[in-house]
Amino acid sequence: MSQTKTLKVRMTLFCILAGIVLAMAAVVTDHWAVLSPHMEHHNTTCEAAHFGLWRICTKRIPMDDSKSCGPITLPGEKNCSYFRHFNPGESSEIFEFTTQKEYSISAAAIAIFSLGFAILGTICVLLSFGKKRDYLLRPASMFYAFAGLCIFVSVEVTRQSVKRMIDSEDTVWIEYYYSWSFACACAAFVFLFLGGLALLLFSLPRMPQNPWESCMDAEPEH
């Protein structure tokens, strides 16, 4: 592999590494979406919530002069619990109607698949450092692209879950916005998917320079 192509591969792997870190941050944190309830004028506090793939956190915070709930960063009494389908012993009843079980399990499972693909891709990259093993970069690139697609699907499933949660008559929350964990997942999709495609492009053998050559006949790169 030429020095120019080696530099391109290294830069691409750096972007992919950033995508893996962002994906892991998104999966393990619980700030995908922040939910706000309907406010009454006589209320002095409100209960906002933020959640991720595994758990939901509610926080009772004081209302400001505009009678709006938040921001979620204000100090207040906080209570975090894992979703009941991930923790059967959970006693809180709130999760029976505030989460869509199928959506939540699907988003979490697909995110785990994404991390699995990223791990397989990383193994292939490490093995490719051996002599004459550049061909392992091609399956690695596909694994990274699949990881990015899985993160994208998980983001979309979570988005639909939030929409159904807000539209449900059984919940007190009427407003929402996506938070930094959601942004990490979206950025991870971009880095992993585009990085995987770029890595595949850079790891392909040199195209023949003459019309009578085939890829196998072309002289190897130095």
Highest mean pLDDT among 113-127, 157-171, 198-212: 113-127
Examine the pLDDT at 107 and tell me if it is beyond 90.
Answer: no
Q: Tell which wins on pLDDT, 44 or 189.
A: 189
Q: Tell which wins on pLDDT, 221 or 165.
A: 165
Q: What is the mean pLDDT of the chain?
A: 78
* Chain segment 176-212, per-residue pLDDT in tens: 888 899 999 999 999 999 999 999 998 887 665 555 5
The mean-pLDDT minimum among 28-42, 60-74, 77-91, 181-195 falls in 77-91
* Chain segment 132-159, per-residue pLDDT in tens: 788 889 999 999 999 999 999 999 998 8
- Rounded to whole angstroms, the Cα distance separating 107 from 150 reads 9
The mean-pLDDT minimum among 1-15, 36-50, 63-77 falls in 63-77
Q: Could you give the domains of the chain?
A: 7-30+97-203 (1.20.140.150)
Cβ atoms of residues 85 and 105 within 8 Å: yes
Beta bridge partners of 89: none
**For the stretch 47-73, what's the b/e string if a residue is b when 16 or more beta carbons lie within 10 angstroms of its beta carbon?**
bbbbbbbbbbbbbebebeeeeebbebe
The Cβ-side half-sphere exposure at 20, using a 13 Å CA radius, reads: 17
* Chain segment 77-97, per-residue pLDDT in tens: 677 777 664 454 444 444 444
